[in-house]
Structure 1
Amino acid sequence: MASAAELDRPAGSLDTFRQDARAWLEANFPQSLRGKDNAMSAVDGPTEETPEQKAWREAMGEKGWGVPTWPAEYGGGGLTREQARVLGEEMMRIGAWNPIGGMGVMMFGPTLLEYGSEEQKQKHIPGIVRGEVRWCQGYSEPGAGSDLASLQAFAEDKGDHYIVNGQKTWTSGGQWADKCFALVRTDKTQKHAGISFLLIDMDAEGVETRPIKLISGASPFCETFFTNVKVPKENLVGREGQGWEIGTRLLQHERNSLSGGGGSQGRMNQGEPIPSVAKKYREVDAEGRLADSDLRTRIIKHEMDQRAFALTLRRAALEAKGNAGPSAATSVMKNVGARITQDRAELAIEIMGMQGLGWEGEGFSHEELAQTRTWLWGKAVSIYGGSSEIQNNVIAKRILGMLDHQ
């Protein structure tokens, strides 16, 4: 539903914006970068920027268009949702991609805009907008995964600062991050009400990261240890004991981004369309159709699911009111997106046959080896960001209104 301001806007203003955006993009986006990825946001590890990538990131950061709807007073684009949609269409038209990303954009930034003090916004948002600061998440612990409220990392009050001791795990990109937004316990006598939201410098004395190697061969996650880490009081977001409220709100932003609602369809759903892959590896009949009718049917169903999901995400974005942001409905989107993502990977492996099971060595193309790792990586899609089982609980309680019965 459009806001009053949007309804009052002159009819031609979007056309004017489109022309301006098209001209700016054509002047600033290097065509040599077409089809390449964002070196800043990859959780597998940041890659060194080329001069063209750096120039593109700096241009988008200065314009604020990496986060187009964020407030202009903090460096964001200050655009309406409709203008942001037009910008996305114009970027797609010339093969441009957003060089500003990572957890600062998809999770922490939107949360800080809601809960942070003015000083915190002025200090932290511009670095995210320009793609200059990498953030990581300090939530899960060895004994606090699905039951996150059982976390034990403790921040002891020392007057003008805290001393943090404890351990976090599954810290995505922790070994490359500049800063961490973390849930810590400030009161041991209360479970949920004893949790606070704290910002920790990853280069502070007492912070140690140990990468975890996954079955895909990548090490994008870490164990993170805090030993007598000094954290200034001004790094507390909100008030003491408000961490659970802030932390769960952040998870809604995360699920919104993981499902594709943040403007990305996700790394697992990118790449060559499944029908095209199938025609490379499987027999086709005289009419150019896949000869295997069962496989053809399953591919069609997957394509229908994927397109219906994309349309649902777009509709949800268009129907969003004001700046209310994501709701508990992101749990539905996250679960559906995870299933579609895993279905695609399974179909691709099945289609490739033995060529989709290569790990290394001759006889496999780069794309085939990448598909094997993508398939293995995808096993975690229904776990990270809150497992599918946890999302089902959220859907049951917060959307369907089903309560636990003692």
Structure 2
Amino acid sequence: MARVEVRVDFRSAAREWLAENLAGEFKHLRGLGGPGREHEAFDQRLAWDRHLAAAGWTCLGWPVEHGGRGASLADRVAFHEEYARADAPARVSHVGEELLGPTLLAFGTDAQRARFLPGIRNVTELWCQGYSEPNAGSDLAAVRTSAVRDGDEWVITGQKIWTSLAHVADWCFVIARTEPGSQRHHGLSYLLVPLDQPGVEIRPIVQLTGTAEFNEVFFDGARTAADLVVGDDGWRVAMGTLAFERGVATLGQQVGFRRELDALDALARANGAADDPVIADKLARARVGLEVMRAYATRRSDPSVAKLVWARWHRGLGELAMEISGAASMITPDGLDEWQRLYLFSRADTIYGGSDEIQRNIIAERVLGLPREVRP
């Protein structure tokens, strides 16, 4: 892999700004948020995201003409690394900034970009992803949610599930079947749908951790404007979004992963678990795995491979946390601690966002060119 060159001034500027601004009203946010912990200080983290935006630290890779900084991949890597070192809080605007924004830049119209990019950049409109359904999770081509044209609007009917942060989002990008009788990848559209309207019901799903960042979203005659269809091939646009989700965008996710590994390493040293050579070896392997994950993200490798790498790594970290915690991991006198919560939440990592089994099929069929799996 070619060496990634990072401009020292960009890294230094990010480090200095974070040190100066993670103070005062934002000081207590260090280390908060992330998967399974999105409930932590949400309003304050939203204010922090808007503070970042006002200083020009959001949408770093977007073109300057669309409100970004036109930052290189190397500079974006540098920012995420400094963000992790500063123990800054998990971002609440990830879906809009890292998934929908790049999708609109790649597939959207000028009018769609003008309407939505400023709200994403300034963190005044939050987004969620309407992909999975009860019978169409990893098999996204099986979606049944439909949209029917009614004059200048689309009328949407169906159900989405596992919709992260839908209960705090303003908008949802929805994959819906707009061609009656179509099957699989054909006849799908990528719609931008407002959530604050009649015909939309959002029900949080309580997880094993006791938190509820996932949701069911029901559309019963919900409407959106006819011109809020992104691109002319919904499947192609949806796959484009997934490529952004599983590629460089995971650098932000890795902020939390690195923080968890550092804290787990400190726990092992404090309780003596690190003296066990087996545990020490597993911690070292986890450290190497984190660097492998970073390399996949920065090389723009196949998104399915990147998903397999981070999901299995994070699930393994949860299991390692239980080993290091020892007998204490089996009891919850005052509710779940951070390591029990990590273990329980990370069990789902190899399922949501495309299960490991589906990702292997995609790699086999679309990357390696092997025969398709026989389907009923």
Q: TM over 0.5, yes or no?
A: yes
Any gaps of 5 or more consecutive residues in structure 2?
none
- Pair 1:14–1:347, CA change in 2 (3 A): closer
Look up the SS of the partner of 1:209 in the other structure.
Answer: strand
Q: Which residue of 1 aligns with 2:243?
A: 252
Quote the residue 1:353 is aligned against: 326
Pairing 1:190-269 to 2, within 5 Å after superposition: 190-191=182-183, 192-239=185-232, 242-256=233-247, 261-265=250-254, 267=256
Specify the SS of the correspondent of 1:121. helix
Tell me if 1:300 matches 2:312: no
TM-score normalized with structure 2 length? 0.86
CA distance in 2 between partners of 1:55 and 1:224 (Å): 26
- What SS does the aligned partner of 1:353 have? helix
Amino acid at match of 2:75: Q
Cα deviation code 1:38-93 (max 9, x no counterpart): 6799873473544xx67653342134322211112222222222333444455556
Who is 1:154 aligned against? 146
Please give the alpha-carbon distance, in whole angstroms, between the structure 1 residues aligned to 2:373 and 2:297: 35
Equivalent pair of 2:175/2:190 in contact (CA under 8 Å): yes
Report the 3-state secondary structure (helix = DSSP H, G, I; strand = E; otherwise coil) of the residue aligned with 1:167: strand
More divergent stretch after superposition (150-159 vs 378-387) = 150-159
1:4-403 aligned at under 5 Å gives the runs 14-18=7-11, 20-21=13-14, 24-25=17-18, 28-30=21-23, 33=27, 36-37=30-31, 44-45=38-39, 47=41, 49-50=43-44, 56-91=48-83, 96=88, 99=91, 101-191=93-183, 192-239=185-232, 242-256=233-247, 261-265=250-254, 267=256, 270-271=259-260, 272-282=262-272, 290=275, 292=276, 296-304=277-285, 306-316=286-296, 318-319=298-299, 326=300, 329-361=302-334, 369-403=337-371
> Aligned partner of 1:312: which letter?
V
Secondary structure class of the residue paired with 2:327: helix
Higher RCO structure (Cα 8 Å, ≥6 apart): 2
Give SS of 1:234's match: coil
1:337-372, Cα deviation, whole Å (9 max, x unpaired): 2222111111211222231123343xx8xxx62221
What is the alpha-carbon distance in structure 1 between the residues aligned to residue 135 and residue 166 of structure 2?
A: 19
Q: Deviations for 1:149-203, whole angstroms, at most 9, x for unmatched residues? A: 1211111111211111111111111111111001001012221211100011010
Structure of larger gyration radius: 1
Distance 2:266 2:17 in 1: 34
Report the secondary structure of 1:199's partner residue.
strand
Q: Deviations over 1:131-150 (max 9, x none)?
A: 22221111111222232212
Which residues of structure 1 form unaligned runs of 5+? 8-12, 284-288, 320-325
Change in CA separation of 1:352 and 1:122 when aligned onto 2, cut-off 3 Å? same
Taking a change above 3 Å as real, the CA distance of residues 153 and 314 of structure 1, as seen in their structure-2 partners, is closer
Counterparts of 1:160 and 1:25, CA distance in 2:
46
Q: 1:92 to 1:210 in 2, by over 3 A?
A: closer
Range 379-388 or range 225-234, more displaced: 225-234
Partners in 2 of 1:175 and 1:41 — Cα distance? 15
Query: 2:251·2:297 contact (CA, 8 Å) conserved in 1?
Result: no
TM-score by structure 1 length?
0.80
CA contact under 8 A between 2:83 and 2:255: conserved in structure 1? Answer: no
Task: Give distance in 1, aligned partners of 2:34 and 2:323.
Answer: 32
Whether the 8 Å contact between 1:63 and 1:77 is mirrored in structure 2 is no
Superposed CA RMSD = 3.1
In 1: Cα distance, 2:322 partner to 2:347 partner: 13
